[in-house]
Structure 1
Amino acid sequence: MLHLDGNTAAAIQLALEDFLPRGAPLPAGIPPDEACLHQQQSYDVMSAPGPEGVVLVQFTPNDAVCPPPPGLSVEARSGKPLLDVTTYAVDVRTMRILSVGVHVRPRS
């Protein structure tokens, strides 16, 4: 069982609704092999407390739920497909999103 305090759960929910709003239609022209990337259940979520009431929420695609499409870019040194990781900074005192960042790293 996983226990989350109310502020952390609320921060995750706020970030998730911004990242992939529930019930939002798929963008036009999405290839079928990328459609699962537009579903909330296709992502792993991690959170960590930050300074002064900020919670960091990170979304990483889960390759077991949504396998990477075959045409992904690869990292030059390792040849591994790249992974987009999205991180939100949420102020739990005001329940506002302070920033959103995306970084790319090789898949493990």
Structure 2
Amino acid sequence: MDDMLPRDVKPPRDATPDDVCLHRHDSYDVEAAPLSDEVVLVRFLVKEGACRSEGATATEAATYAIDIRGWRILAVQR
């Protein structure tokens, strides 16, 4: 989560309420699924009903491929 949304990054001053919401860790759900014995896919999704004060908001934020033996990020799809 800290790679996708670093804790020290704040929304810009003129951010919309949805932008502010999307900068909060608790606005996301996380799903994980094994791809192989060595790689897990981790997907970050905007929680249903969160961040929709100004209309539709994208629900999928990013998917990561993680090497679980070395705990390295292998790929990111945003």
Q: Is the 8 A contact 1:34 1:69 kept in 2?
A: no
With the length of structure 2 as denominator, give the TM-score of the two structures. 0.79
Closer/same/farther in 2, CA of residues 43 and 51 from structure 1, 3 Å limit = same
Unaligned runs of 5+ in 1: 1-15, 73-80, 103-108
With the length of structure 1 as denominator, give the TM-score of the two structures. 0.60
Paired residue type of 2:51: C
Q: Is the 8 A contact 1:87 1:100 kept in 2?
A: yes
2:13 is the counterpart of 1:19: no
CA displacement at 1:26 relative to structure 2 = 1.9
Greater fraction helix = 1
Greater Cα radius of gyration, structure 1 or 2 = 1
2:74 is the counterpart of 1:98: yes
> Root-mean-square deviation (CA), in Å?
2.1
User: How many correspondences in the alignment?
Assistant: 78
Closer/same/farther in 2, CA of residues 51 and 27 from structure 1, 3 Å limit = farther
User: Deviating runs (4+, > 6 A) in structure 1?
Assistant: none
Unaligned runs of 5+ in 2: none
Identity of aligned residues (%): 40
CA displacement at 1:49 relative to structure 2 = 1.2
Aligned to 1:13: none
